Amino acid sequence: MGNHAEVTNLGVIIVGSGPAGVAAAESFREHDSTAPVRILTADADLPYARPPLSKEFLRGATDDVALHPAQWFDDRDIEITRSATVDRLDVGERAVYAGGQRHGYDTLILACGAAPVAPPMPGAQRARLLRSLADAAALRDKAHTATSAVVIGSGFIGCEAAASLAMRGVPVTLVAPEPLPQEKRLGTAAAERLRDLVNDTGARHVGGVSVQEITEAGVRLDNGVTIDSDLVLAATGVEPQSRIAAEAGLSLDGSRIIVGSDMGASTPGVYAAGDVALAYHEVAGRRVAIEHWQDATDQGAIAGTCAAGSQTKWVGVPGFWTSIGEATLKYHAWGGGYERSRFIDHGDGFTVWYESGDATVGVLTYNADADYDLGERLIAEQRPCPMPME
């Protein structure tokens, strides 16, 4: 179509080089040794791990975040084109368009992930965002010279980044409208522990405040206080990158691409996986939204397998790990809330059990791996929690 240069050899095209895209390429190749496998990614870097970007990388404890050396892709005959943003998709023609080039495909896997959203407030453009390795490198550079930092948002990335900046010796304040981090999702007792873990790193958590404006001098809060700051990070949530899918007419729920438990989208030959997808979960019996590394990897592997003509379905219990300073918390849950919870203090750690009806629907652990493993089984088998609820 039009003046686009043609790049044809068909096979599978994967849009995105996050965990879903890379796992999709790997599993497709495992199931089909001959068809071309091409990844087109907006990212300028070879695929890397995102979880360390707010943790060890930001702290300065590691530079090594590569997922695989370049040779790994060559060995598998996976072609990866970087700095290639797909701006249009035509599912009728089976083609994507990137940088003035048309790429035809037999099957397509959309693994475009999500992008951070800047807060809608005056001066929002002064806030840094954290998603890519380039974002993290720029943030870390700035942290070398920053005299004081404000992190907006007490989700996991906000808590992790505040802790990492504090551990670098930067005075840092974590501000959020919620009184305690993740209170709604995890309950008050767990949220208090989370706040304590953040504060233990030397960061200062200030809940129950909203940022009204980001100025050159710092951050102005709705309680009249201004915090001086020359480094502001907004960790205020993400938006799935589904524009090209929506414009191509794929079925979406909000901004997520609706897929089955095989990651197949509403149009034949098109799959989606990871943060951009809303996949049907066979055990939960409903669609489950995830924003976790391992689940994106699992979904990518399923998409690659099914795109290559084999069959598999999403059955794993969603979950993630998070590290606030040296403390690692582990969580498994369907993500649909809970009716009752029970917090168990182990002295050097804790477990929180979450139940709905008579089935375990979540478990959060700190220094309690046996409970984490048990919780995963109970959630998968929809069995009750191992102790009475409060």
Reading the block at residue 345, the tokens are 């203090």
Shortest Å, Cβ 376 to ligand FAD: 15
Q: Which is nearer to ligand FAD, 208 or 249 (CB)?
A: 249
Which one, of 352, 375, 318, lies nearest residue 190 by Cα? 352
Of 7 and 359, the one with the shorter C-beta distance to ligand FAD is 7
Least separation in angstroms between CB 14 and ligand FAD: 9
Residues 302/314, Cβ–Cβ less than 8 Å: yes
Closest CA to 218 of 228, 232, 208: 228
**CB of 243 vs ligand FAD, minimal distance in Å:** 7
Of 205 and 292, nearer to ligand FAD (C-beta) is: 292
User: How far lies 325's CA from each of 46, 161, 218, 342, in Å?
Assistant: 27, 9, 25, 25
What is the C-alpha to C-alpha distance for residues 366 and 90, in angstroms, rounded to an integer?
Answer: 47
Nearest distance from residue 113's CB to ligand FAD, in Å? 2
Q: Which is nearer to ligand FAD, 115 or 124 (CB)?
A: 115
SS3 295: helix
CA distance 39 to 253: 25
| Nearer of residues 11 and 318 to ligand FAD, judged by Cβ | 318
DSSP string, 127-162: SB---SHHHHHHHHHHHHH-S-EEEE--SHHHHHHH
Closest approach of Cβ 387 to ligand FAD, in Å?
27
The Cα 20–Cα 245 span in angstroms is 16
Q: Identify residue 128 by its one-letter amino acid code.
A: R
Residues that bind ligand FAD (CB under 6 A): 15-21, 40-43, 50-51, 53-54, 85-86, 111-114, 130-131, 157, 241, 244, 274-276, 291-294, 296, 320-322
The distance of closest approach from Cβ of residue 110 to ligand FAD in the complex, given in angstroms and rounded to an integer, is 9
Pick the closest to residue 40 from 69, 90, 78, 70 (CA basis).
Answer: 78
Q: Which is nearer to ligand FAD, 322 or 341 (CB)?
A: 322
Indicate the residue among 126 and 128 with the shorter CB distance to ligand FAD: 128
**How many other CB atoms are there within 10 angstroms of residue 187's CB atom?**
21
With respect to ligand FAD, which residue has the nearer C-beta, 99 or 177?
99
Measured from the CB of residue 40, what is the shortest distance to ligand FAD in angstroms? Answer: 5
Q: Which single residue is written with the structure tokens 């091409």?
A: 38
Q: Amino acid letter at 281?
A: H
Contact indicator for 78, 37 with CB cutoff of 8 Å: yes
State the minimum distance, in angstroms, from the CB of residue 223 to ligand FAD: 28
